[in-house]
Structure formats: C-alpha cells, structure tokens
C-alpha cells in the first residue's frame, strides 16, 4: 500500500511545496520564547502579539523574507557593572518566525507596555474564470 502525503495527492496538483512549508513552519516554532498570541481581529485581519518586556524599540527588528515574517530581538549591553543577586528576567536574544500565506500583508507594528503588536491583513483573492478551448487532434 502506497502512503499518500498531502503534497503528492493526485487531486492537489502543484502543491509539492506545501510539505516543505509545513516542515519549515515546524522548525521555525523554536523554544517558545518569547511567548506570543495570534488573534483574528476581523474577517480579513490578524494581530500577532509578542511579550517583549525589557526590549526597547531599537532592540527589535521585523522583516518579511520569502513569505515568512521574522521578528528578532537582541538587547544591547548597557555597559554598566551591575551585580545581580538574582536574575529572573530573561535578557536573551530571540528569533520568532511566522509563515504567511500568499496575499497576507504586514501592516504596522506597535510596542506598548512590553507587548509588540504586529497587524496583518489578508487581501481578498481575485476570482478568475478561464475557459480552455478544446482542439481536435490532427490525426
């Protein structure tokens, strides 16, 4: 018995990259830091919220690379010689990636009270109807 995967199903033509996309998404999930929420704010819009307490605006970067939203954080060394008796607040760099579907656009990003909000919107797909002319074989 042959096992059919989603990318090789005979009715899903041209979706070979779908499996690679799922694998890439699984690898991008990382270690869970920083924690985040994804909410649907309307029928065609979303908001990703990351908990980035301790990060300044200059410590964060947001890029879109090959339909992948990448948020990176790296805190700069303050240069002072503080001595911590206990250090429970994470001060590590991170990279969090989200794979975006075709037609999803990144809007504005706002940092507020230690939360980074990134707004996304999905453009409506164009409905295309194409008629294919059938030719008679030259035999």
Q: Is the pTM of this model over 0.75?
A: no
Q: Where does CATH 2.60.40.790 sit in the chain? A: 31-122
The hierarchical CATH code for the domain 31-122 is 2.60.40.790
What stretches of 14-110 show up as alpha helix (H) in DSSP?
16-28
Tell whether the model's pLDDT for residue 18 goes beyond 80: no
Rounded Cα distance between 120 and 40, Å, is: 9
Go through 106-116 and write b for each residue having 16 or more CB atoms within 10 A of its CB, e for each that does not. beeeebeeeeb
Q: Which residue has the tokens 């199903």?
A: 9
Per-residue model confidence as pLDDT tens digits over 57-82: 999 999 999 889 999 999 876 666 78
Joined tokens for residue 86:
């206990």
């Amino acid at each position: 018995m042959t096992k059919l995967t989603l990318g090789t199903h005979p009715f899903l033509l041209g979706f070979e990259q779908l499996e690679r996309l799922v694998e890439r998404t699984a690898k991008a999930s990382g270690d869970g830091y920083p924690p985040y929420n994804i909410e649907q704010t309307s029928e065609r819009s979303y908001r990703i919220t990351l908990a980035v307490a301790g990060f300044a605006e200059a410590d964060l970067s947001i890029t879109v690379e090959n339909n992948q939203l990448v948020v990176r954080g790296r805190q700069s060394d303050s240069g002072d010689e503080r001595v911590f008796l206990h250090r429970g607040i994470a001060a590590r760099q991170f990279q969090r990636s989200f794979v975006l579907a075709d037609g999803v656009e990144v809007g504005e990003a706002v940092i507020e009270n230690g939360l980074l909000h990134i707004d996304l919107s999905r453009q409506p797909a164009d409905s295309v109807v194409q008629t294919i002319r059938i030719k008679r074989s030259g035999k």
